Amino acid sequence: MNKAFNLENIRKDFPILDQEINGSPLAYFDNAASTQKPKAVIDAIKNYYEQDHSNVHRGVHTLSVRATELYEESRTKIAKFINANTSNEVVFTRGTTESINVLASTLSGLIKQGDEILISTMEHHSNIVPWQELCIRTGAILKIIPINKLGELQLDSLEKLLGKKTKIISVTHISNTLGTINPIKKIIELAHLYNAYVVIDGAQAIAHTPIDVQDLDCDFYTFSGHKLYGPTGIGVLYGKENLLNKLPPYQFGGEMILKVTFENTSYNSLPYKFEAGTPNIAGSIGLAAAIDYLNSLPLNLCHQYEMEIHDYALDQLKSFSNIRLIGESHKKSPIISFIANDIHPHDVGTILNQKGVAVRTGHHCTMPLMEFFNISGTIRASFSFYNTKNEVKQLIGGLGIAFKMLS
């Protein structure tokens, strides 16, 4: 039986949405920064701390056993959600940023002077700086895949950049600023012709499109729990098992060891050799609860509805003559970035907040992208399946007031 999409019921699942900001209903359009949490996630974390909390692994008492079971069940659910071949390929981190940093550190032994690492113009700082630092340490060369004015990667330029010296390509699946959906499967195919490793920043994609890491054939895929309706402070590094086995540990301490003597140390098997210290147990349980919640929904209809809201908002925004859209890719996710002539985005965001509308303003941790478009920042509205057309009308009304006040 097909599941039906019921917006009213979905909104009831998110307690935070039922409130007023400055006397107006909250219209939350900052989902690209962080999604809100359903009650099922909040309850799972609460129940863990009230009933099952203990440190995981090795404990023989009941609480430790229960906590360990919940923690490892979370890993299994996540592996299934992204279609990993085995749960050993799922490493828990603090988020996408740490996942990419883990790779930039552990892949360094495979990089030598003169090797090349490719990233794109639209990358988040978290997918720029770690690779810059790796190049500084090793003498490798960072090369940039260009984009066009629509905010789309230029694949012909990528093909020209690829060569025998290409060792790593790290690109975002979906741009957090532009909403551009990149052709990562094609990029992966091209990279593998040169035996380059491919790292995918999936922070934005994980909540808006099905992810099948085996079908993509990516070497590594990274994402954050808090952008997938889960808690903050928990993230995932997926890697092919044979590749993760080749990489050295990132941190050292408890849990990631097999045996320690004063003479030498041997390390644990996957995925534990990358998880030093007490993990974010509650975070992993909360993320698993978010996945359970999402699996209870008709996700294909949720994703379809998000784009309906996006398209409706885009159509409404076109009623303003002073707006310039930033990012008009033919393949988009539910993100709209725009500027309004010479009005500063922060000023617009401040007035919108007075009307209960939450948007993100600034450079969105993509300063090189802002430089490409010759702007300092944008106003970004990003949508989820719990947003409504009435909230979009609230946004449009707030923009009208803001433009009148600031022009």
Nearest 5°: CA angle at 62, between 59 and 68? Answer: 55
Question: Under 8 Å CB-to-CB from 109, ≥6 apart: which residues?
Answer: 248
The pair phi, psi for residue 117, each rounded to 5°, is -120, 130
Active site residue 365: yes
Q: Catalytic one among 135, 218, 302, 365?
A: 365
Using DSSP bridges, classify how beta strands 141-145 and 116-120 pair: parallel, antiparallel or unpaired.
Answer: parallel
Q: What is the 3-class SS of the chain, one letter each residue?
A: CCCCCCHHHHHHCCHHHCCEECCEECEECECCCCCCCCHHHHHHHHHHHHHHCCCCCCCCCHHHHHHHHHHHHHHHHHHHHCCCCCHHHEEEECCHHHHHHHHHHHHHHHCCCCCEEEEECCCCHHHCHHHHHHHHHHCCEEEEECECCCCCECHHHHHHHCCCCEEEEEEECECCCCCEECCHHHHHHHHHCCCCEEEEECCCHHHCCCCCHHHHCCCEEEEEHHHCCCCCCCEEEEECHHHHHHCCCCCCCCCCEEEECCCCEEECCCCHHHCCCCCCHHHHHHHHHHHHHHHCCCHHHHHHHHHHHHHHHHHHHCCCCCEEECCCCCCECCEEEEEECCECHHHHHHHHHHCCEECEEECCCCHHHHHHHCCCCEEEEECCCCCCHHHHHHHHHHHHHHHHHHC
Catalytically active residues, by annotation = 365
